């Protein structure tokens, strides 16, 4: 189990920096390869020319030996690409086309591992959390948006860009009259099941709707459709669900039962017979992103 501490020095172990770069805030930490977080800080995500030098100075002052970065996206994560580490199409002022990895590398001159925020969260759960020790894992975050990180044979899945499994198309329920909140898709998971979709449909945020059975019946329908597809596509050993919407614990039994029904016996393993241990709640206490960054930093340090 990872340790979350503050201000503790460890002279014997490499000092690994962790940067969870979100659209609204940047979480910075220094820790060790075994998940001990020694120090952390947060700053708002402002223009890159304002916040990136501040972050470089913070890590430089703490003499990190490597850095793991989980960045908001979309961003280029293929290290062979000419624009590796660039932030791509984003509404965040100043960030579109920004060479995030390059500026960090130039400022720190240490090995840097760079991936998406949801991918590093998946890595954190596999290394320290609810999927500890497993090599085939899907981590899904359901909140302001919906994203999924996929671990295959212990490696994060990339490809043409990176998985956008939160935009998987799902069959709209006949009674659902919501106009999708996704500007790209009429019936994708994020457009119909994210936190903003719930609020747009019911007029209140998810945390104010805990007692509304119909809210969670519909929400679980959409999540279970996507999860059945993830099982069929990725064959994970475990599916981990996190994010603000998944704090509604009543969702879990509904999602498990409906995902199993959707699979209809086609995938038959002992693991699926015990859905309570197959589709599970995130286990890092909200720290999976930072812990995944530490693991990413450890990996790149080992390769350097």
pLDDT at 281 over 90: yes
Q: Of the given ranges (12-26, 188-202, 257-271, 284-298), which has the lowest mean pLDDT?
A: 257-271
Question: In the structure, what pLDDT confidence band is assigned to residue 32 with cuts at 50, 70 and 90?
Answer: very high
The pLDDT value recorded for residue 5 is 42
For the residues 71-85, what does the mean pLDDT come to? 94
State how far the Cα of 224 lies from the Cα of 228, in Å rounded to an integer: 6
- Classify residue 10 as exposed, middle or buried by CB count within 10 Å of its CB (0-12, 13-18, 19+): middle
Helix (H, G, I), strand (E, B) or coil at 100: helix
pLDDT at 117 over 70: yes
State how far the Cα of 118 lies from the Cα of 75, in Å rounded to an integer: 12
Torsion angle of the four alpha carbons 182, 188, 193, 198, in this order, in degrees rounded to the nearest 10: 40
State how far the Cα of 96 lies from the Cα of 164, in Å rounded to an integer: 18
Domains with residue ranges and CATH for the chain: 16-119+286-303 (3.30.420.40), 131-281 (3.30.420.40)
Q: How many CA atoms lie within 13 A of 267 on its CB side?
A: 21
User: How does pLDDT run across 191-241, given as a tens digit for each residue?
Assistant: 999 999 999 999 999 999 999 999 999 999 999 999 999 999 999 999 999
Residue 43: Cβ within 10 Å count? 14
The average confidence (pLDDT) of the chain is 94
User: How does pLDDT run across 36-68, given as a tens digit for each residue?
Assistant: 999 999 999 999 999 999 999 999 999 999 999
The pLDDT value recorded for residue 299 is 97
Q: Please tell me whether the overall predicted TM-score, pTM, comes out greater than 0.75 for this model.
A: yes
Sheet (strand 25-31) strand order:
37-44, 25-31, 16-21, 66-71, 112-116
pLDDT at 11 over 90: no
Peptide bond into 74 cis (omega under 30): yes
The pLDDT value recorded for residue 4 is 42
User: How does pLDDT run across 245-257, given as a tens digit for each residue?
Assistant: 999 999 999 999 9
pLDDT at 143 over 90: yes
Please give the DSSP secondary-structure letter assigned to residue 6.
S
The pLDDT value recorded for residue 6 is 43
pLDDT at 278 over 90: yes
Q: Which residues contact 125 (CB under 8 A, 6 or more apart)?
A: 131, 132, 137, 139, 240, 242, 282, 283, 284, 288, 292
The pLDDT value recorded for residue 12 is 67
Tell me the chain's radius of gyration from C-alpha atoms: 19
């Amino acid at each position: 189990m990872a340790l979350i501490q503050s201000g503790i020095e460890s002279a014997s172990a490499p000092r690994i920096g962790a940067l969870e770069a979100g659209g609204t805030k940047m979480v910075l930490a220094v820790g060790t390869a075994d998940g001990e977080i020694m120090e952390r800080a947060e700053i708002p995500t402002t223009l890159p020319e304002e916040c990136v030098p501040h972050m470089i100075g913070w890590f430089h002052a703490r003499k990190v030996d490597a850095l793991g970065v989980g960045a908001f996206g979309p961003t280029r994560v293929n290290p062979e690409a000419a624009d590796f580490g660039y932030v791509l199409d984003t509404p965040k002022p100043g960030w579109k086309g920004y060479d995030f990895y390059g500026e960090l590398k130039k400022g720190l001159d240490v090995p840097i591992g760079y991936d998406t925020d949801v991918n590093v969260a998946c890595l954190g759960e596999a290394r320290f959390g609810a999927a500890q020790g497993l090599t085939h894992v899907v981590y899904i975050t359901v909140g302001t948006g919906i994203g999924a990180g996929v671990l295959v044979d212990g490696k994060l899945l990339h490809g043409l860009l990176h998985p956008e499994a939160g935009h998987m198309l799902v069959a709209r329920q006949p009674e659902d009259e919501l106009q999708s909140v996704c500007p790209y898709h009429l019936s994708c998971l994020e457009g119909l099941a994210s936190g903003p979709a719930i609020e747009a449909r019911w007029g209140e945020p998810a945390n104010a709707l805990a007692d509304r059975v119909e809210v969670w019946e519909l929400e679980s329908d959409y999540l279970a459709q996507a999860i059945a597809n993830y099982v069929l596509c990725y064959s994970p050993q475990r599916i981990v669900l996190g994010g603000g919407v998944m704090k509604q614990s009543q969702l879990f039994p509904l999602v498990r039962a409906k995902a199993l029904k959707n699979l209809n016996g086609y995938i038959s393993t002992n693991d699926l017979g015990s859905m309570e241990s197959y589709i599970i709640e995130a286990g890092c206490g909200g720290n999976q992103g930072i812990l995944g960054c530490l693991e990413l930093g450890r990996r790149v340090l080992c390769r350097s």
